[in-house]
Amino acid sequence: MLRLLTAGESHGKGLVAILEGMPAGLKIDIAQVNRQLKRRQAGFGRGKRMRIENDSADMISGLKGKVTLGSPLAILIKNKDFSIEKLKKVLSPRPGHADLAGLLKYGFSDIREVLERASARSTAATVAAGAICRIFLREFRVGILSSVVSVGGEKTESGIKRKISEAMRNKDTLGGIFEVRIKGVPVGLGSYAQADRRLDARFAQALMAIPGIKAVEVGLGFGYADKPGSQCHDAIYYSGAKGYFRNTNNAGGIEGGISNGEDIVLRACMKPISTLMAPLDSVNILNTKPAKAATERSDTCVVEAAGVVAEAASAYVLADAFLEKFGSDSLSDIRTNFKNYLKRI
């Protein structure tokens, strides 16, 4: 099984991801990891921080000759904007952020001690680790992509850009919905035997852990609520050429917590970013008097980038389920197990 730990603050020396459980024998192309990091920094609506940082991954353990050893992989992403000790104190919590809850939980007197780790900057480490998982999944022809469904209620590219530009002018922010689609997933990943082994539950947890995500659905999702079963469930067919197949995929590729061989389809809703350049009302934590919420360098909209992070988080979940099913020590053994399983089914 895989384990992932990340560390680092937004304006600290850098971010670290430690990925344990990746099998031996997997060739890692660092350019593919860096490509995913670049994708995370892109998208209409990103802020000035993305012009400062040029994220790249330094693999500092777990490889020899660019091939995994089976030992933990450690990935370092250095911050160019390393200024955590110089930045001013933050005294007015931002509504919608971890600021106030974190301050009260840990007893801090400076909100910066919360926001530095709560920042979505930490997702760069998630994307780097997820990129390794994607390389593993490609060995078995599994592909992952994401797309923006809507931003601020708009669904067309021109409408989305217009809406984001308007929010920029108004010093406001926007959220939206993105979709992650995973192709080539074999039948049988996950389990109905225990709640924490159910594949849909694992995806939901991983996506909800991305900063700013407030809702997740699988397949038809909330669309199940207003339709009868006869219009929801995916009828099953069989042919000698295809084996078992469906003509619809309302289940989003998962039934009973197990992948059913169809594309896995996940959607998530991201709230508007909490840092507003025209800040909302708040309270000064030193004197409890009314104040405007703090402003930090931020973005206007990151729905597209959130989709990239969700791809990485989904790759981690799926790679973990894959290793659970087919073994985890050696890539060659996993290939053999996978081939034998496909023959059986």
What is the rounded CA–CA span in Å between residue 268 and residue 271? 10
pLDDT per residue over 279-310, tens digit each? 999 999 999 999 999 998 889 999 999 999 99
What's the pLDDT score for residue 49? 59
Mean pLDDT rounded to a whole number for the chain: 96
What's the pLDDT score for residue 267? 98
8-state DSSP, 92 = S
**Predicted TM-score of the model (pTM):** 0.95
- Taking 50 as the pLDDT cut, the residues of the chain under it are none
Chain-centre distance of CA 315, in angstroms? 9
Q: Residue 336: how many CA atoms within 13 Å on its side-chain side?
A: 7
What's the pLDDT score for residue 296? 85
pLDDT per residue over 58-114, tens digit each? 999 999 999 999 999 999 999 998 888 999 999 999 999 999 999 999 999 999 999
What is the rounded CA–CA span in Å between residue 142 and residue 182? 7
Q: Domains plus CATH for the chain?
A: 3-328 (3.60.150.10)
Structure tokens at 41: 């920094």
Q: Give one DSSP letter per residue of 281-315, joined into a string.
A: EEE-TTT--EEEPP--S--S--HHHHHHHHHHHHH
User: Could you identify the residue written with the tokens 């084996």?
Assistant: 243
